[in-house]
Amino acid sequence: MPLFPPGPPDLSNPPGRGERLRWALRDCRPSLVLTTASAHAGVRELIGSDGACGVREVIAVDEFAPDTGTASGAAPRHRRARRPPRRSGAGRTVRRFAEAFEPCGLDPAAQIPAYGPAEATAYVSMDGARRPPRVREVDRDALAMGVAVELPGSEEPAVELVSCGRPVGQRVAVVDPRHGVEVPEGAVGEIWVQGPNVADAYWGDTERSVEVFGATMFGAPRADPAGDAPWLRTGDLGVVIGGELCVTGRVRDSGTGGAARRGARSERSAAAAWA
């Protein structure tokens, strides 16, 4: 896969990520330009590593009721059930990552939230503004019903959604997966992608390929599609707020084919990545 920006790559295993990032931020020459990328889950692990500037900064994994398993199919582990925090979601990950590596000299604006599944070459949208990531506080109960209602500065329980910016060189639509129609801004639906970066199919799996890569959208979507070209069904749930994409969870986690229950628990399984 091409690297951008070009430069010598350094690959590390999960236990070594925190130490390598600490070294790069604290000990390297000031003129060094460093670009690193990790999925949401990897960032959470990184914050909990001893390599984070020598500070043990742990994100509690027991803030939600017992997990049902992992994406890799591993056996579920028991997690203590306790009441969700007043603020939950990917915004906490972004904030605690900045706090953990601030002693190393990390600029909060260096975090660039982005979104992209492997089927779309891992790059769909990005928030490239030179500022700290934009975090939107939305009502937890409303989000569970499929609507993002912002609660800036409210004391009500909220989910912190991280903006993944706008599409980059492709078309993105948030769609009702049951009817194949685009939903209005502020409504949660499945993220569909159309563009030259989308793969043609899964190797050796024709049936699954047709289901995922051959979606048809009904009506005239605002995303300006290229004729009748098929869409990629990402399986990720998202919502557009202020013209920017926020990932809220997975269709399979919603329990009703994407119709409801898109709350805090499913939000933390979002496929957002940070570059």
Are 138 and 248 spatial neighbours (Cβ–Cβ below 8 Å)?
A: no
Residue 95 pLDDT more than 50? yes
Residue 264: partners with Cβ closer than 8 Å, 6 or more residues away: 64, 84, 88, 89, 140, 143, 144, 159
Question: Hey, CA dihedral for 205, 210, 214, 217, is it positive or negative?
Answer: negative
- The whole-angstrom separation of Cα 28 and Cα 12 is 17
Calculate the alpha carbon distances from 104 to 44, 82, 100, 136 in Å: 18, 33, 8, 27
Q: Helix, strand, or coil here: 57?
A: coil
Q: Does pTM top 0.85 for this prediction?
A: no
What percentage of the chain exceeds 90 in pLDDT?
37
Strand 272-274, strand 113-115: pairing: antiparallel
pLDDT, tens digit, for every residue of 166-182?
A: 999 999 999 999 999 99
Average pLDDT, integer, range 60-78: 35
Q: What residues contact residue 184 under an 8 Å CB cut-off, 6+ apart?
A: none
Domains along the chain with CATH numbers: 14-274 (2.30.38.10)
For residue 67, pLDDT over 50 is answered with: no
Residue count (the chain): 275
Q: Which tokens go with 200?
A: 């043609």
What residues contact 188, with CB distance under 8 A and at least 6 apart?
A: 143, 146, 147, 148, 174, 237, 238, 239, 248, 262
Q: What is the pLDDT of residue 98?
A: 84
Strand partners, 87: 158
Question: What percent of the chain shows pLDDT beyond 70?
Answer: 56
- Strand ranges across the sheet with 189-194: 181-182, 171-176, 189-194, 232-241, 244-250
The strand pairing partners of 273, in sequence order, are 39, 114
Interatomic CA distance for residues 258 and 33, integer angstroms = 41
Model pLDDT for residues 111-162, shown as the tens digit of each residue: 888 999 999 988 899 988 888 999 999 999 999 999 999 987 777 778 999 9
226 closest CA partner among 254, 203, 201, 196: 196
The mean per-residue pLDDT over the stretch 204-218 comes to 94
- Whether the per-residue pLDDT at 246 is higher than 80: the answer is yes
Does residue 273 register a pLDDT over 80? no
